[in-house]
Amino acid sequence: MKLEIGNFHVEDIRFGDSTEFNDGILTINKDEALQVVKEDRHITDADIKIVKPGDQVRLVPVKEAIEPRYRMDEGPLFPGVTGNLQQVGDGMTVALKGTSVLVVGKHWGGFQDGLIDMAGEGAKYTYFSQLKNIVLVADTDEEFEKREQQKKNKALRWAGMRLAEYIGRSVSNQDPDEIEEFELDPITKRDTDTSELPGVVLVMQPQTQMEEDGYNALNYGWNANHMLPTLMHPNEVLDGAMISGSFMPCSSKWSTYDFQNFNLIKRLYEEHGETVNFLGVIMSNLNVALEQKERSAQFVANIASNLGAEAAIVAEEGYGNPDADYIACLVALEDAGIKTVGVSNEATGRDGESQPLVSLDPKADALVSTGNVSELIKLPPMETVIGELEALARDGLSGGWEDDEELGSSVKEDGSIVMENNSMFCGDGVAGWSTKTMKEF
Amino acid sequence: MSNKAVVYINQFFGQIGGEEAADHEPEVRDGVAGAAQAIAPNFDGEIVKTVICGDNYMSSNQDKAVAKILGELEDVDFDIFFAGPAFQAGRYGNACGAIGKAVKEEFNVPVVSSMNVENPGVDMFKKHIYIFPGGHSAAKMRDDAKKMAEFGNKLLNEEGPFLAEEEGFYKRGIRHQYFLPDETPAADRAIDMLLKKINGEEYQSELPIPEQDLVEIAPAIQDLSSTKIALVTSGGIVPVENPDKIQSASATRWGKYNIAGQDKLENRASNKYKTIHAGYDPAAADADPNRVVPLDALRKYQEEGRIGEIHDYFYSTVGTGTTEGEAARMGAEIAGELLEANVQAVILTST
A200 belongs to a structural domain: yes
* A275 in reach of chain B (CB within 8 A): yes
Q: Are residues B153 and B291 in the same domain?
A: no
Nearest CB to A362: which of B171, B187, B209?
B209
Residues of B in contact with A437 (CB under 8 A): 177-178, 180, 189, 206
A431 belongs to a structural domain: no
Q: Is the pLDDT score of A385 beyond 70?
A: yes
- Report CA-CA distances (Å) from B175 to A364, A429, B178: 18, 18, 9
Residue B1 confidence class, pLDDT cut points 50, 70, 90: low
Q: Is the pLDDT score of B324 beyond 90?
A: no
Q: Is the pLDDT score of B77 beyond 80?
A: yes
Q: Are residues B125 and B249 in the same domain?
A: no
> Is B172–A341 a contact, with Cβ atoms under 8 angstroms apart?
no
Residues of A in contact with B183 (CB under 8 A): 435
Say how far apart CA A300 and CA A322 lie, in whole Å. Answer: 15
A433 belongs to a structural domain: no
Provide the domain count of chain B: 2
* A274 in reach of chain B (CB within 8 A): no
HSE, CB side, 13 Å, CA atoms: give it for residue A73.
15
User: What's the rounded mean pLDDT across residues A396-403?
Assistant: 93
Residues of B in contact with A424 (CB under 8 A): none
User: Among A303, A296, A304, A349, which Cα is nearest to A324's?
Assistant: A296
What percentage of chain B has pLDDT greater than the value 90?
A: 89
Say how far apart CA A80 and CA A218 lie, in whole Å. Answer: 9
> Is A434–B206 a contact, with Cβ atoms under 8 angstroms apart?
no
Q: Are residues B140 and B250 in the same domain?
A: no
Residues of B with CB under 8 A from a CB of A: 127, 161-165, 171-180, 183-191, 193-195, 197-198, 203, 205-207, 209-212
**Where does residue B118 rank: exposed (0-12), middle (13-18), buried (19+ CB within 10 A)?**
exposed
Give the gap in angstroms from C-alpha A157 to the nearest C-alpha of chain B: 27
Q: Is the pLDDT score of B280 beyond 90?
A: no
Q: Are residues B245 and B159 in the same domain?
A: no
User: What's the rounded mean pLDDT across residues A356-362?
Assistant: 92
What is the pLDDT at residue A437?
Answer: 98
B18 belongs to a structural domain: yes
> Is B176–A360 a contact, with Cβ atoms under 8 angstroms apart?
no
What is the pLDDT at residue A336?
Answer: 98
What pLDDT digit, counting tens, does each position of B3-18 carry? 999 999 999 999 999 9
Say how far apart CA A313 and CA A401 lie, in whole Å. Answer: 35
User: Among A135, A164, A56, A29, which Cα is nearest to A387's?
Assistant: A135
What pLDDT digit, counting tens, does each position of A204-216 carry? 999 999 989 999 9
Residues of A in contact with B171 (CB under 8 A): 440
What is the pLDDT at residue B24?
Answer: 95
What is the pLDDT at residue B279?
Answer: 78
User: Among A316, A310, A394, A388, which Cα is nearest to A357's?
Assistant: A316
Q: In what order do the strands lie in the sheet with A339-346?
A: A230-232, A277-283, A199-205, A311-316, A339-346, A367-372
> Is A434–B163 a contact, with Cβ atoms under 8 angstroms apart?
no
Give the gap in angstroms from C-alpha B127 to the nearest C-alpha of chain A: 9
Give the gap in angstroms from C-alpha B143 to the nearest C-alpha of chain A: 23
Mutation target among B154, B175, B195 for the A interface, most CBs of A within 10 A: B175
What is the pLDDT at residue A412?
Answer: 97
Give the gap in angstroms from C-alpha B111 to the nearest C-alpha of chain A: 14
User: What's the rounded mean pLDDT across residues A296-313?
Assistant: 98
Q: Are residues B157 and B228 in the same domain?
A: no
User: Among A159, A174, A1, which Cα is nearest to A72's?
Assistant: A174
Q: Are residues B10 and B128 in the same domain?
A: yes
> Is B164–A360 a contact, with Cβ atoms under 8 angstroms apart?
no
Q: Is the pLDDT score of A405 beyond 90?
A: no
B30 belongs to a structural domain: yes
Q: If you ran DSSP here, which 8-state letter would residue A198 be given?
A: P
User: Among A144, A135, A156, A136, which Cα is nearest to A40's?
Assistant: A156
Residues of B in contact with A353 (CB under 8 A): 127, 173-175
CATH number at residue B102: 3.40.50.2300
What pLDDT digit, counting tens, does each position of B245-256 carry? 998 887 889 999
Residues of A in contact with B187 (CB under 8 A): 263-264, 266-267, 431-433
B36 belongs to a structural domain: yes
What pLDDT digit, counting tens, does each position of A81-96 carry? 999 999 999 999 999 9
A175 belongs to a structural domain: yes
Contact B118, B89 (CB under 8 A): no
B216 belongs to a structural domain: no
What pLDDT digit, counting tens, does each position of B171-218 carry? 998 999 999 999 999 999 999 999 999 999 999 999 999 777 778 888
* A362 in reach of chain B (CB within 8 A): yes
**Where does residue A354 rank: exposed (0-12), middle (13-18), buried (19+ CB within 10 A)?**
middle
- What is the span of the domain harbouring residue A136? 2-423
* A267 in reach of chain B (CB within 8 A): yes
Rounded to 5 degrees, what angle do the CA atoms A360, A362, A363 make?
105
Contacts of B202 by beta carbon, 8 Å cutoff, 6+ apart: B196
Say how far apart CA B248 and CA A77 lie, in whole Å. Answer: 58
B317 belongs to a structural domain: yes
What pLDDT digit, counting tens, does each position of A222-274 carry? 999 999 999 999 999 999 999 999 998 999 999 999 999 999 999 999 999 99
Beta-bridge partner residues of B83: B8, B113
Provide the domain count of chain A: 1
What is the pLDDT at residue B307?
Answer: 96
B313 belongs to a structural domain: yes
Q: Are residues B24 and B161 in the same domain?
A: yes
Say how far apart CA A384 and CA A382 lie, in whole Å. Answer: 6
* A375 in reach of chain B (CB within 8 A): yes
> Is B190–A375 a contact, with Cβ atoms under 8 angstroms apart?
no
Considering only CA atoms, give the Rg of chain B. 25
Say how far apart CA B280 and CA B286 lie, in whole Å. Answer: 11
- What is the span of the domain harbouring residue B105? 3-167
User: What's the rounded mean pLDDT across residues A36-57?
Assistant: 98
Q: Which DSSP string do the residues of A359-400 spell out, in sequence order?
A: S--TT---EEEEEETT-EEEE---SEEEE-TTHHHHS--TT-
What pLDDT digit, counting tens, does each position of A142-183 carry? 999 998 889 999 999 999 999 999 999 999 999 999 999 999
B338 belongs to a structural domain: yes
* Closest-approach residue (CA) in chain A for B126: A441
- Indicate if ipTM > 0.95: yes
What pLDDT digit, counting tens, does each position of B20-56 carry? 999 999 999 999 999 999 999 999 999 999 999 999 9
> Is A276–B190 a contact, with Cβ atoms under 8 angstroms apart?
no
Q: Is the pLDDT score of A382 beyond 90?
A: yes
Nearest CB to A438: which of B183, B197, B207?
B207
Beta-bridge partner residues of A384: A57
User: What's the rounded mean pLDDT across residues A424-439?
Assistant: 98
Q: In what order do the strands lie in the sheet with A12-15?
A: A12-15, A25-28, A20-22
Mutation target among B154, B167, B207, B323 for the A interface, most CBs of A within 10 A: B207
Helix, strand or coil for residue A183? strand
> Is A367–B207 a contact, with Cβ atoms under 8 angstroms apart?
yes
Contacts of A295 by beta carbon, 8 Å cutoff, 6+ apart: A228, A287
> Is B177–A421 a contact, with Cβ atoms under 8 angstroms apart?
yes
First to last CA, chain A: 47
